[in-house]
Amino acid sequence: MLDIKVDEALWASSMMPEGILERWFQTTGAIVSRGEPIAEIRIEDALHEIVSPGSGTLTTIAAANSVVEPGTLLGTLSGGDV
């Protein structure tokens, strides 16, 4: 199993300590490929795509419109090349 977390580097030029998980492009149970966009996070006025770190079956953990911080667990991947 592979964790999908919010990369701390997204806050490199931000003054805000948190962001919003705007939406998921994929839902729980979807088969995703490495590098495929799976979610979108808003930090201040910027939108950032979160891409799948591996291939496998996605399980979402964080809900859309929830507050996220650096390192927040968004979901997991199982099977595939995790």
For the chain, the domains span: 2-78
Global pTM?
0.88
Instruction: Name residue 25's amino acid.
Output: F
Q: Which of 23, 58, 27 is nearest to 41 (CA)?
A: 23
CA dist 55 and 78 (Å) reads 8
Summarize the confidence of residues 27-52 as an average pLDDT. 94
Q: Which pLDDT tens digit goes with each residue over 9-39?
A: 887 766 778 899 999 999 999 999 999 999 9
Fold of 2-78: OB fold (Dihydrolipoamide Acetyltransferase, E2P) (2.40.50)
